[in-house]
Amino acid sequence: MLASPSALSTDTAPYDAIVIGAGHNGLATATVLSRNGKRVLVLEKNGYVGGMGGTREILKDCQNEVGASCMFPLSKEIQEYFQFEKNGVELIPLPVMAVNLTGKNGRPLIFYKNSLKLAFGLLKNYGPSAMIGFARFIKFCDYPAKMLDRFTARKTPQNLTDIISQAPTQEKRAQLEMAFNGSAMDIIDKFFPDPIKHKELRANMAFAAVQATFKGPYSQGSAMCLIYTMAQEGSAGMMQRVKGGMGKLSESLVTQIESLGGEVRTKQQVKKIIIENEAAVGVELKNGDQFFAKTIISNLDKPATFNKLAQDYPLPEEIKQQVDGFEHRGAYVHMLFKLSGLPRYAAHIDKLNRIPFAQFGGAMVADPEVLQRCYEQSKKGELPPIVPLAFQFPSLLDDSLAPEGFHIASAYGFYFPCDAEKSRRGKLRDEFGEMIIDHIDMHMTGFRELIVDKAIFSSDHFAVMEGASNGDWTHGLLHPEQMVGDRCLIEGTGHTTPITNLYLCGSSCHPGPGVTFLPGYNCAFEVLDTHAA
């Protein structure tokens, strides 16, 4: 135990910064601060780093990802700063990024890395109107996506109202209104209006709009998530796998931090943030140990930070309402599988078995009307009629993840009734898991028989494992009123809080969820700029 803060001025605190949580954003913050000569201590309650972007053994002799499983585009600045590949990370390209399936009679929608192959596939399988509609759809998304600044480093965001009002023309304002406050189907109907010809495109775009929000595709505000999903960084625009699992990214940051004199300690659960004279001065662990620093940085979401770790500090009423008003829900179930072999696609889509790497992953979805019904039933505490899901067989491309002769798979099923009574949720979770297996088995006959072992996680597990409020991996759902500047607590700043010397660095901050490292990176520079002033 170190000296008490009353005997220790902030100028002589043993650490310049303490970061609570070794998720990828917490480690990004610590890396930047360490590179700038700051003595940093990272405290992580679990025995592994990376949080929901980590990798560890869940199923015997396998390396499993409980959370993020693919690396999406990183901003050029982030790539250049952290230099993951120069620090031991190996990236695996995905020639087929996703195969998306809509019902047993739907045509497979294949997203190739090669844009020409993608365009030709759309033309061949869905006709000219679909290909043209997709090109127009991508163009439509470009402007509002840029306004979201999802991949812009070190920029404090404006609130949504100002972004819309400052659009240069009435046409642009109307476009932003639709893109941010409308429903996903407002946009989808505009570019894919034919429910028969465009069936698969409609279903898959609708699914893209609801994965990070507790809404249906016909719900107002669901368009925001669609735009966020479609945003492209530009310099690296495609998904990739990380060899050995997503956790390798965070592990590479730990190596960098420690090489610069910083410390990353696991199995160190922070119980509370120590606040004196309205300033954060240290942390107290569950075991009673205390550590002190000039700056305290939380990688947890807002309710977990202020209503748990700093619950003794009375927030200003306006900010207290903002924190408590943020919607956090985890309407999903995540499953991991160890398989005795790699399944093949069923007879109705047998042609996919002849396309190299088409078994890697994708989505199994439903028509927008069914998706909306899934959402409505979830709100009532009922299981949906079908479980739309994202699936992946990562060992197809990376044999280091499973023992010889075995494969691993994962699936995220959506619209789990997460608001049902807690006493019912365990039984509902298990029934939901069986529905996930049934859906996969419909498209990959024999999948169920290949299962050697499995693990199932609902949002309740993520709440306990990762400290995410209500198990919400987004740290605040992608609703219009919870994005860009409205994700910030203090106007004109991205990470500053009402408690002096306390900052937020996780996905609860702009630009939000996804393994972009930007919230953590941006936070570190805000801390450096503030303390240099």
What letter does residue 158 receive in the DSSP assignment?
A: P
Which residues have C-beta within 8 Å of that of residue 177, sequence separation ≥ 6? 164
Mean pLDDT lowest among 151-155, 170-174, 238-242, 343-347: 238-242
Give the tens place of pLDDT for each residue, 456-485.
999 999 999 999 999 999 999 999 999 999
Query: What sign results for the dihedral spanned by CA atoms 485, 487, 488, 493?
Result: negative
Q: What is the pLDDT of residue 533?
A: 57
pLDDT > 90 in the chain, percent: 92
Give the tens place of pLDDT for each residue, 90-109.
999 999 999 999 999 999 99
Question: Is it the case that residue 453 has pLDDT exceeding 70?
Answer: yes
From the number of C-beta atoms within 10 Å of its C-beta (0-12, 13-18, 19+), residue 12 rates as exposed
What residues does 413 pair with on adjacent strands? 333, 389
What residues does 291 pair with on adjacent strands? 283
The mean pLDDT of 488-493, rounded to a whole number, is: 95
Which residues have C-beta within 8 Å of that of residue 370, sequence separation ≥ 6? 385, 386
CB 57 within 8 A of CB 500: no
Give the tens place of pLDDT for each residue, 295-328.
999 999 999 999 999 999 999 999 999 999 999 9
Give the tens place of pLDDT for each residue, 130-139.
999 999 999 9
Q: What is the pLDDT of residue 239?
A: 83
Does the fold of domain 91-240+329-465 match that of domain 5-54+245-325+475-532? no
Structure tokens at 521: 């990176």
Mean pLDDT lowest among 37-41, 109-113, 393-397, 406-410: 109-113
Hey, what CATH topology would domain 91-240+329-465 get? Polyamine Oxidase; Chain A, domain 2 (3.90.660)
The mean pLDDT of 373-396, rounded to a whole number, is: 97
For 171-177, the CB contacts below 8 A with 24+ separation are 172/143, 175/140, 175/143, 175/144, 176/143, 176/144, 176/147
Between CA 40 and CA 194 the distance in angstroms is 56
From the number of C-beta atoms within 10 Å of its C-beta (0-12, 13-18, 19+), residue 208 rates as buried
SS3 204: helix
Average pLDDT, the chain: 94
The mean pLDDT of 1-22, rounded to a whole number, is: 68
The mean pLDDT of 229-236, rounded to a whole number, is: 69
Q: What is the pLDDT of residue 113?
A: 86
Between CA 46 and CA 423 the distance in angstroms is 26
pTM over 0.85: yes
Question: Is it the case that residue 532 has pLDDT exceeding 60?
Answer: yes
Question: Is it the case that residue 386 has pLDDT exceeding 60?
Answer: yes
Q: Which of 115-124, 149-158, 426-435 has the highest mean predicted lDDT (pLDDT)?
A: 426-435
Which residues have C-beta within 8 Å of that of residue 357, sequence separation ≥ 6? 94, 95, 96, 396, 397
Q: What is the pLDDT of residue 5?
A: 44
Between CA 239 and CA 94 the distance in angstroms is 7
pLDDT band at 9 (very low <50, low <70, confident <90, very high): very low
Cis bond upstream, residue 480 (ω within 30): no
Parse the chain into domains and list their residue ranges: 5-54+245-325+475-532, 91-240+329-465
pLDDT band at 12 (very low <50, low <70, confident <90, very high): low
The values of phi and psi at residue 451, to 5°, are -70, 120
From the number of C-beta atoms within 10 Å of its C-beta (0-12, 13-18, 19+), residue 221 rates as buried
Is 5-54+245-325+475-532 a CATH 3.40.50.2000 domain? no
Question: Is it the case that residue 11 has pLDDT exceeding 60?
Answer: no
The mean pLDDT of 497-513, rounded to a whole number, is: 97
